Copies of this chain bind each other. A is one copy, B any other.
Amino acid sequence: MTAKPAPIYDRVAFIGLGLIASSMALAIRQFGLAREITGHAKSAETRATALEIGLCDKVFDTAAQAVDGADLVVLCVPVGAMGEIAAEIAPRLKAGACVSDVGSVKQAVIAAVAPHIPADVAFVPAHPLAGTEHSGPRSGFATLFQNRWCLLTPTETSTPEATSRLRALWEGMGANVDEMDAAHHDLVLAVVSHTPHLIAYTMVGVADHLRRVSNSEVIKYSASGFRDFTRIAASDPTMWRDVFLTNKDAVLDILGRFTEELFVLQRAIRMGDGDELHAYFTRTRAIRRGIIEAGQDTAAPDFGRVAAKKDA
């Protein structure tokens, strides 16, 4: 048996027990990063499941009870629910504790949560860039964060100590950690995640509405392109509703650029300008190579082909 390092926190409390919280709980246990895990979820069914599968040592009916005595409180609820939870737990937070979150939008979370944080508590916003299209307490797995980025966006209510301790937790769960300004985070995420999700949702919606092509055809022939869109578009509706409502400015900015760019390509198609199309597609191929070189994916042919294996 490998010796485990000393726990980073004594007690960690999760508010919300979905994909991210359950993956964190499993990773924290596996790598011995905390002595005790408590939790709360709004739904009684989720609370029962969390106890049943052993995600938490203790599960409480209210968020306020769950944070009692915790060194680290992680808000894992949809972005739109963070403010209310912060107000509820604030009076019960331990002096010297740290509050963090895992929301996909940072400026809105900071605006909603920071005003409630007591002077003797640190608030260090975080966003792990990891997920799957599944949700709920049973969807978590301990390796979700392995070699994925976790972005910290420290604020005036963060302390260097609290930030570096939280960084150690994320690194302990296998993540690479970067720090950046919350506004920059929101713009970067609008580009690499939020807008692509909206586009995938839209394309899947178009297919669903089209009466000349049946849904069974769309489903049968989804290889080569559409399948990747449906995977993205299967993500949790509540989480994504809140992302778009709270990162509105950056998403609308990127959507505007996307539409302009799409019209340029659409015009090239209409005018039969093959050279422009070819040059564009050649440029985008290079970005893909960059991602493979950065180690965020493999070069193995995939295209959503989970079932089939390469026959070397």
Task: Name A's B-contacting residues (CB within 8 A).
Answer: 26, 30, 80, 129-134, 139, 141-144, 146-149, 151, 178, 187-189, 191-210, 212-213, 215-235, 237-238, 240-242, 244-245, 248, 251-252, 254-255, 257-259, 261-262, 265-266, 269-270, 272, 274, 277-278, 280-285, 287-291, 294, 296-298, 300-312
Contact = CB atoms under 8 A, between A and B. Distances in A.
22 contacts: A143-B308, A191-B206, A191-B213, A192-B217, A192-B226, A196-B225, A202-B258, A205-B280, A207-B287, A216-B294, A227-B297, A230-B288, A231-B297, A232-B303, A238-B278, A241-B278, A244-B269, A244-B277, A245-B277, A251-B269, A302-B304, A302-B306
Given A191-B207, A248-B269, A285-B237, A262 B307 contact: no
Most chain B C-beta atoms within 10 Å of own C-beta, residue among A234, A255, A278: A234
Contacts of A208: 283-284, 287
A222 B296 contact: yes
Given A277-B241, A285-B237, A219 B291 contact: yes
Task: Give the secondary structure class of A's interface.
Answer: helix
A291 B291 CA distance: 28
Contacts of A194: 225
Most chain B C-beta atoms within 10 Å of own C-beta, residue among A198, A204, A215: A204
B229 A130 contact: no
Contact of A134 (B195, B255, B301): B301
